Amino acid sequence: MSDPIIEARGLHKSFKAQTALNGLNLEVPAGSIFGFLGRNGAGKTTTIKLLIGLLKPDRGDARVFGLPCGDSSASVEIRSRVGFVTEDKELYPYMTVEQIIRFTRAFFPKWRPDLEQKYLKLFDLPPKRKIPDLSKGMRSKLMLLLGISHGAELLILDEPTDGLDPVAVEEMLRELVALSASGGTTIFFSSHQLEEVEQIADHVCIIDRGAAILAGPLDDLKVQYQRLRVVFGEELHTPVHWVDGADRVRQEGRTVEILASRNVEAILEQARSLPGASVERFPVSLKELFLEHVRSN
């Protein structure tokens, strides 16, 4: 396994009395499409700002390409190698689409005019229109165009599909997948749209109250977590002591629902050994994983 392209250890950040990050750990493998998930206010945007050096952590260490994000000169290098799109859509209000592209291009030696032209057409952006007159979706697309045309080896996107309609979302996801497939660009994107993360991410991290509460390769998490439903022949009078790994157990009458994170086979065996029990197992979607973990945090 190669070194992670983004790595954070024990990140803390507070704004006055408000704790934004509370010991966040993060590891993003090179070449992945990484979904960074969390509710509004969970700490996603703060993390992204720390990674690209727009904020400094109170404690902890964050590195991008192995470079320390908290160091001013290193963060200049990081920003020159990363294409980023932030939630903050306050672009230069007096510029037109054409002007902001020309302005941004001047800063980046690896600028890709071919990608710029492709996305200008694909996203159907009006070159002469002033930025405040664009719709929310158009502004998102413009930011993405700027991020992609950068020619960057790493894209950091804060809620890239925010404000886009379903057709535009699908187009954007397709473009991200194409970028990943053609050049191995690493894509780190934050979102609270679980369906889109589930569609294109191979790694995920769920952040809640400023810390990572679940992280790993998405397909492995789906293999690991299973929901079991046990129906008993008659009502249980004493609670069952389930084997280790039966994380959450909910009982209603003769039915017990279990979310298992480990020892699934052992739990199944235990269930089958109980009198009159029939057992079914179900896969767990990212949405269920998210809700279970965030609610119990």
Partner 1 sequence: MLFRLYPSSGLPLYLQLMEQVKHAIETGALKAGDQLPTIRKVAEDLVMNPNTVVRAYRELQHEGVVELKHGSGAFVSESVAGRTRVIRKAQTVVQAALERLADLGLTEDEMRRVFDNEVAQLRAEKSAGRQE
CB-CB contact of 35 with 204 (8 Å): yes
CB-CB contact of 78 with 151 (8 Å): no
> Between residues 133 and 220, which has the closer beta carbon with respect to partner 1?
220
Binding mask 182-221 for partner 1 (x = CB under 8 A): x-----------xx--xxxxx---------------xxx-
List 82, 145, 154, 286, residue binding partner 1 (CB under 8 A): 286
CB-CB contact of 63 with 7 (8 Å): yes
Alpha carbons 280 and 77: distance in angstroms, whole number: 53
CB-CB contact of 36 with 47 (8 Å): yes
What b/e string do you get for 269-290 counting C-beta neighbours within 10 Å, with b at 16 or more? ebbeeeeebebebeebebeebb
Scanning 37-45, 62-70, 110-118, 169-177 for contacts with partner 1 by CB under 8 A, the matching segment is 169-177
Q: Looking at the DSSP assignment, which residues form a beta bridge with residue 248? A: 259
Alpha carbons 31 and 16: distance in angstroms, whole number: 37
Q: Is 39 helix (H, G, I), strand (E, B) or coil?
A: coil
> Between residues 61 and 280, which has the closer beta carbon with respect to partner 1?
280
Alpha carbons 23 and 19: distance in angstroms, whole number: 10
243 binds partner 1 (CB under 8 A): no
List 278, 291, 296, 297, residue binding partner 1 (CB under 8 A): 278
CB of 201 to partner 1, least distance (A): 7
Scanning 67-75, 106-114, 208-216, 285-293 for contacts with partner 1 by CB under 8 A, the matching segment is 285-293
> Between residues 74 and 200, which has the closer beta carbon with respect to partner 1?
200
Count of residues interacting with partner 1 (CB under 8 A): 38
The residues in 22-61 that bind partner 1, with binding defined as CB under 8 A, are 31-33
255 binds partner 1 (CB under 8 A): no
Q: Name the residues that contact partner 1, by CB under 8 A.
A: 31-33, 170, 173-174, 177-178, 180-182, 194-195, 198-202, 218-220, 222-223, 265, 268-269, 272, 278-288
